[in-house]
Structure 1
Amino acid sequence: MIGPVEIVKRSVRIAGHATSVSLEPAFWEALNEIAVRRRISLNALLSMIDAGRGGNLSSAIRLFVLARCRDGELGDLAGASPLTCSRVGEAVRGAGGPA
């Protein structure tokens, strides 16, 4: 049996509009790491993801982060948290995703 999944809701500004996004903490951690690596703000990164999405924003963000883990953008450069993608994987499994 899967226990409750912690979700963190944050207020962000996407393309100049205030909104809120709900994600697991591991995804927030990964997004922050990606933004720092790219030397852009979290809001700028979220605006980029939003511009390319076709559906639900939270789902698009999760898919973006998973793709960055798969592509090796997270966890392989100096100063990276080696656990970021592991935590994302745990969040996915905890939400009932593939084991």
Structure 2
Amino acid sequence: MCQIFAGQDPGRYETVTRRLRLNGQSTSIRLERAFWNILDDIAAREGVSTPAFISRLHAEVLELHGEAPNFTSLLRCACTIHLGEDAQLAPAAIAAE
């Protein structure tokens, strides 16, 4: 069972730091490569760059909650939500064919 998880390419969970601007502030975010790939995909589906998507998400979090205490964790959770939605959409897309 764990072979699926333990046997994955270490490059998937290698941490990658990207520098970007969040609402005008220069910062850096460190995430595992797999999460960056998902964020890149979400941004592409939204028709924006990854930094623009992350900046928009950050602004919305600030508007809703007044702060973003652990923004990198929020990004990881956003990725899992995205993956769950993709899993729910896949059977519907197959049924439509």
Is 1:20 the counterpart of 2:28? The answer is yes
Give the CA deviation at 1:17: 1.2
- Maintained 8 Å contact 1:32/1:42: yes
- Give the share of equivalent positions with the same residue, in percent: 33
Which residue in 2 is equivalent to 1:8? 16
Is 1:62 the counterpart of 2:70? The answer is no
The farther-off stretch of 41-50 and 59-68 is 41-50
Give the CA deviation at 1:31: 0.6
Alignment deviations for residues 29-56 of structure 1 (CA, whole Å, 9 cap, x no partner): 1111111111011112111221216421
- Number of aligned positions between the proteins: 73
Which residue in 1 is equivalent to 2:49? 41
- Maintained 8 Å contact 1:49/1:60: no
Give the TM-score normalised by structure 2.
0.64
Structure 1 ranges of 4+ moved more than 3 A: none
Q: Distance in 2 between matches of 1:18 and 1:61?
A: 17
RMSD value, Cα: 2.4
Structure 2: runs of 5+ lacking an equivalent: 1-5, 63-67, 91-97
Structure 1: runs of 5+ lacking an equivalent: 77-99
Give the TM-score normalised by structure 1.
0.63
Asked which structure has the greater CA Rg, the reply is 2
Which residue in 2 is equivalent to 1:72? 86
